[in-house]
Chains A and B, each alone.
Chain A
């Protein structure tokens, strides 16, 4: 069963604008991860945020985590055409070894 759910399912913005994607989950977690998938390719890890962290940055990416609301957001600032991809969040299940994945947000950056 999938735990993470991304919102929106699809997002189309102009190059240069900011893109925000959200992820919600149902049970308590140790960490949450965001991945990017370019069309037809494998997933690439973006950021891992642990349950005791509230915010993390990596270049143009900013991830927030609100454990009280069981939600996370991924912000991409100053978007570029190369950011066109699907973005997935994944959560762990404590002592389990598995990551549970959401269905992803498809982001399209228009030139």
Chain B
């Protein structure tokens, strides 16, 4: 089992450019999450999904969109990147609420 994988691992964008981060899990988990982690801070939830075809906003959703067309995949989109979106992005999945979350290795994004 690969667990949770993220693509790409690193990316540099210019302000205003767009990109999509891909998260895939092979554990048949219903729940998937996108977080951002900034220096000296814990994780902040951007968006999450409780099942295929569903998405919901987390703590910091502005500037991001997500889609969950297939159960195993959760995509995070930045339509017009801003320097404030420079961060490390983590995807996670879980069996359900109240269960441990499994994390991907992260994507380091720099917006110049």
Residues of A within 8 A of B (CB): 1-2, 4, 30-31, 33, 40-45, 48, 88, 90, 92, 97-99, 101-104
Contacts and interface: CB of A to CB of B under 8 A. Distances in A.
Query: Which 5 A-B pairs have CB atoms at the shortest separation, nearest pair first?
Result: A101-B42, A42-B103, A45-B100, A101-B43, A43-B103
B102 A45 contact: yes
Contacts, number: 55
Nearest to A2: B42
Contacts of A104: 42
Interface stretch (B13-21, B44-52, B77-85): B44-52
A99 B100 CA distance: 10
11 contacts: A1-B59, A2-B41, A43-B92, A45-B100, A48-B100, A90-B43, A97-B48, A97-B50, A98-B58, A99-B43, A103-B40
Contacts of A33: 100-101
Contact of A103 (B41, B92, B97): B41
Contacts of B42: 2, 4, 88, 90, 101-104
A90 B37 CA distance: 14
B89 to A, nearest CB: 11
B11 to A, nearest CB: 15
A101 B44 contact: yes
B4 to A, nearest CB: 8
Given A45-B100, A88-B43, 11 more contacts: A1-B59, A2-B41, A2-B42, A30-B98, A42-B103, A43-B103, A45-B101, A97-B48, A98-B45, A101-B43, A104-B42
Contacts of A4: 42
A50 to B, nearest CB: 8
A99 B103 contact: no
